[in-house]
Amino acid sequence: MRLKAVLFDLDDTLYSSFGACDAYAYERLAVWAEQELGISGEAFAQAFRVNRYRLGRQQPGMPPVHDRVLFAQGALERLGCNAIRYARKAHRVYWDAVLEKMELRPGVTELLDDLRQAGVKTAVCTDMLADIQMEKLEYLGLADRVDYLVSSEEAGMDKPGAPIFWLALQKCGCLPHEAVMVGDNFRHDVQGAMDVGIAGVWLNWTGLPRPQDDRSYHQVDTFVQAAEHIRTLL
């Protein structure tokens, strides 16, 4: 089998750590709410979280659960503020903070360059909205190194649903056995890919216990190790 495509998750795979970025973004939202709206920053940040969880319950696995404009809209309405005027501003505050904290993982640019030189297509498969993920890739300096972005917004369903993987394969022009998927979330990235016949590489950078799955996949602790493994497939 000749490797024709490598699919990558983005958040916590190509950069780290989204958890740290997210926590910092809530801090910035709290400061913004106090300065811009004159309300309790803590109350706004908590209302933002509450609406985030509410959307998750209402639309599990669907792309709108990632839309920070919707999180902000619900929070502002809950606190009696003008959501139409301020929701998009809160969205921008949140993502500017995330961008500021992102750290590209060592070995990412080198692997992407090697894959392009080898004629292997690359795609980012992400449970997120297309606009912000494109912005992240630009900010990280990867916009010209990745061939395709496939978001759950475009596919209509989050991973581990099959549509996002099939769409990535279609864009890359290959069959499942000609591709490999690299991601940090075992259920969404690795099992989801294996469910449609794509080989999985689990970037287990947090040291989680090995899940129960009899299928064969490759496990690594760092992105550099993932890159070394992928190079053996070229």
Active site residues: 9, 11
Q: What per-residue confidence (pLDDT) applies to 1? A: 64
Q: For residue 63, is the peptide bond before it cis, meaning its omega torsion is within 30 degrees of 0?
A: no
Q: What per-residue confidence (pLDDT) applies to 210? A: 87
Q: Are strands 148-151 and 121-126 parallel, antiparallel or unpaired?
A: parallel
Q: What per-residue confidence (pLDDT) applies to 181? A: 98
Q: What per-residue confidence (pLDDT) applies to 108? A: 98
The residues, ordered by sequence, that sit 6+ positions from 27 with a Cβ below 8 Å of its Cβ are 45, 97
The whole model's pTM is what? Answer: 0.95
19-73: pLDDT as tens digits = 999 999 999 999 999 999 999 999 999 999 999 999 989 998 898 899 999 999 9
166-219: pLDDT as tens digits = 999 999 999 999 999 999 999 999 999 999 999 999 999 999 998 888 899 999
